[in-house]
Amino acid sequence: MTEVTSFSKCAGSAVGRIADMLQLLQDSVPIQRRMVRAGDSVYQVGQGFGSLFIVNSGYFKMVNLSGEGREQVVGLYFKGDWLGLDGIATSHYACDAVAMDTGEVWAIRYDMLIQAAVRTPALLTVLHEAMSRELTRDHDSMLSLCTLPADARVAGFLRYWADALAQRGQRTDQITLRMTRAEIGNYLGMTLETVSRALSRLARGDVIRFTEKGRRDIHIPQVDALTAFIQQTVAPVAAAFH
């Protein structure tokens, strides 16, 4: 089985998983739907925890304040992702959840979700799966920031975005980034200039292409080429430690 075929099957199963989860929630618990626009906050740091939120459409970022008081993008969220899990332990949300474009979130009261899970154990399963994916996301993000050189981080970011779209049944050859270069740098722990240089090198290598629409619209001829670029970038660095 080829890597492309294998990935297509994984993406297809993810589409089904997300659709099944959203249907289960609709059938089992009261849902409050909320439309948001770019810049709207779903909740803010310090706000009292009462509900979890599920992304039904759109793109969202999690923002925290660094020790120096600067805003730091610490997470990106797509359809089917859960927001607000960070509030369970302390009864207060630990970050700001901000919409990056027009979208819809579903608000579910946490106490009602737990009560419903007694009647429908599958709800507890999807909640645990959401928590597990959040832990994996945090681990992968830290691993990338600590080990990958700048060019590989930017390529990995594009691969992550493309994979997230594929898992939701959307096209990956043409993506519109909902973040500025500065926000991408903030998320990846690098400067705007470093992000721009990395994107330019990816374009010179024909791994990506900028479309006529604008610099946020990126054409990716082959998503697997991003993985190959990461491997080529990391190889010299790894060899230096041997």
Q: Domain map of the chain by residue range?
A: 3-133, 147-240
- Which range (50-64, 76-90, 154-168, 208-222) has the least confidence? 208-222
Right CATH number for 3-133 from 2.60.120.10, 2.40.30.260, 3.40.50.1820, 2.40.160.50? 2.60.120.10
| Assigned token pair, 236 | 């010299």
Mean pLDDT of 146-155: 86
Q: DSSP character for 47?
A: P
How far is 44 from 96, CA to CA, in rounded Å?
4
Query: Do 3-133 and 147-240 come out as alike in CATH topology?
Result: no
Beta carbons within 8 Å of 31's beta carbon, 6+ residues apart: 25, 106, 107, 108
Confidence of residue 68 (pLDDT cuts 50, 70, 90): confident
36, containing H or E segment: strand 32-36
How far is 208 from 210, CA to CA, in rounded Å?
7
| Assigned token pair, 82 | 């859960």
pTM: 0.86
Partners of 33 in the beta sheet? 106
Mean pLDDT of 60-69: 84
Q: Residue 3: its pLDDT value, please?
A: 42
Partners of 108 in the beta sheet? 52
Q: What digits encode the pLDDT tens for the residues 100-112? A: 999 999 999 999 9
Could you tell me the CA-to-CA distances from 106 to 31, 48, 68, 86, 97 in Å, in that order? Answer: 6, 18, 33, 17, 13
Domain 147-240: which topology?
A: Arc Repressor Mutant, subunit A (1.10.10)
How far is 237 from 216, CA to CA, in rounded Å?
29
Q: Which of 27, 84, 87, 96 has its CA nearest to residue 53?
A: 84
